[in-house]
Amino acid sequence: MKPINVGLLGIGTVGGGTFTVLSRNEAEITRRAGRPIRIVQVADKNLALAKQVTGGQVALTDDAFAVVNNPEIDIVVELIGGYGIAKELVLKAIENGKHVVTANKALLAVHGNEIFAAAQKKGVMIGFEAAVAGGIPIIKALREGLTANRIQWIAGIINGTTNFILSEMRDKGLSFDAVLKEAQRLGYAEADPTFDVEGVDAAHKLTIMSAIAFGIPMQFDQAYIEGISKLEAADIKYAEQLGYRIKLLGITKRRKLNGNAAFELRVHPTLIPARRLIANVEGAMNAVLVQGDAVGATLYYGKGAGAEPTASAVIADLVDVTRMATADPENRVPHLAFQPEAVADAPILPMAEVESGYYLRLRVEDKPGVLADITRILADQQISIDAMIQREPAEGEQQTDIILLTHVVRERQIDAAIARIEALPVVKGKLIRLRLEELS
């Protein structure tokens, strides 16, 4: 049977892994796909690297448009990344009637609505399993395996860099800055780690999962994003004492706003009960917890990055596209799980309306009546306390820490309380606020 010809854009870490795994497992992949899948052309600015990785077995070029315009190419694999040239290349490949496989979560989160509409119009497929959680097949699980379910919420550790940093801070009691330097030395963090540590990368991935889970457009610009760069080792320690661990979670939930459907879309450090499986995901590993109305909670765990784990997802998409290439476009699995005309344009819930438990840490003067003043303000906002730690001040000190856990309330209530608490003369500096999810 005629092979499927693949054009590869980018031969870096993931591109090299894709070429290696596809070559090594060629016979097994052919058995699964029903016909051979072969990379026949590679585009990369570094031709010397491309030649080294491919062993000179395929055509090489430094012009990516030569690949997307090559009439012999059936599927274009885009592994360049970013929002700019990658978008031009993907749209040109679609225009030329080629199927596309991409690991570019940023591109899809920001421009996915346009890209999927173009693909639908042209009758081609976009595979993007590798865009979220590396080798974990979470896209296929949401789009196909959980089709019978009304997804209620998703909570995921979907950035390995931040999970490594938080794990090390907890295990070793080190500061964020110290662990970040170690993560960079080990190759877990980029030289510029902003997208990772400030939660942007996780928000890209969460945006994609939310669209598939709920049948809504990509709405990255509406996501609430808060990273871990300001997180202090003291808060990780106090969380442990209260029976919780702190993880950077991407959370999306089905909610109501004024009686109509709305959805939460947020990324932030989150306290999770230490007994939960997802709280015990350590190092650079990823995990996604999905709650469906029929199946209950399901957990997907594995390597969220790396050459071969991500290549596994890229090649799975290549096999899917190969299997379905001859099918009528109307009978293929929809890109975002729901038929295009059934995608609902529902809003993302404002953070003021999000409901969560809260961890509060405040530095106060060691005087009688301080705690009573604080609890009175919380009571005025109908916020009840679930747990508390009040440290004895160190010898010679006149200030101490109070740590509170609240029951679930709306964020606007906690914001109002924090503003009043910080205005108390006995409270020193800004209050530390972290959100808390029971995930049950």
User: Is 326's pLDDT higher than 80?
Assistant: no
98, 205, 253, 303: the active-site residue: 205
Active-site annotation holds for 237: no
Residue 37 placed within a domain = yes
- Contact status, residue 126 vs residue 115, Cβ threshold 8 Å: yes
- The confidence score (pLDDT) of residue 391 equals 82
Identify the three-state secondary structure at position 318: helix
**Angle subtended at Cα 48 by Cα 21 and Cα 191, rounded to the nearest 5 degrees:** 75
Q: Are residues 204 and 229 located together in one domain of the fold? A: yes
Contact 75, 42 (CB under 8 A): no
Query: How would DSSP label each residue in 185-209?
Result: HHTSS-SS-HHHHTTHHHHHHHHHH
Q: Widest CA span of the chain, in angstroms?
A: 83
In a domain, 284, yes or no: yes
> Which stretches does DSSP call E strand in 68-147?
75-78, 99-102, 126-127
pLDDT tens-place string over residues 181-225 = 999 998 889 999 999 999 999 999 999 999 999 999 999 999 999
Please check the confidence at residue 49 and state whether its pLDDT lies above 90.
Answer: yes
Summarised one tens digit per residue, pLDDT across range 97-151 is 999 999 999 999 999 999 999 999 999 999 999 999 999 999 999 999 999 999 9
CATH number assigned to the domain comprising residue 175: 3.30.360.10
Q: Which pLDDT score is estimated for 324?
A: 86
Tally the domains of the chain: 3
Per the domain annotation, does 196 fall within a domain? yes
Asked whether the beta carbons of 317 and 108 are under 8 A apart, the reply is: no
Among 315, 342, 369, residue at a domain's last position? 342
Tell me, yes or no, whether 336 and 366 share the same domain. no
CATH of the domain at 313: 3.40.50.720
pLDDT at 402: 96
Distances (CA, A) of 61 to 50, 64, 95, 272: 9, 7, 21, 49
Whether residues 174 and 292 share a domain: the answer is yes
| Res. 237 pLDDT band, cuts 50 70 90 | very high
Tokens at 39, concatenated: 């990379």
Q: List helix spans (H) across 71-104.
A: 85-95
Q: What is the mean pLDDT of residues 21-35?
A: 94
348 part of a folded domain: no
Residue 336: band (very low, low, confident or very high) from pLDDT cuts 50, 70, 90: confident
**Do 295 and 204 fall within a single domain?**
yes
Q: Which domain holds residue 217?
A: 139-301
The model carries a pTM of: 0.94
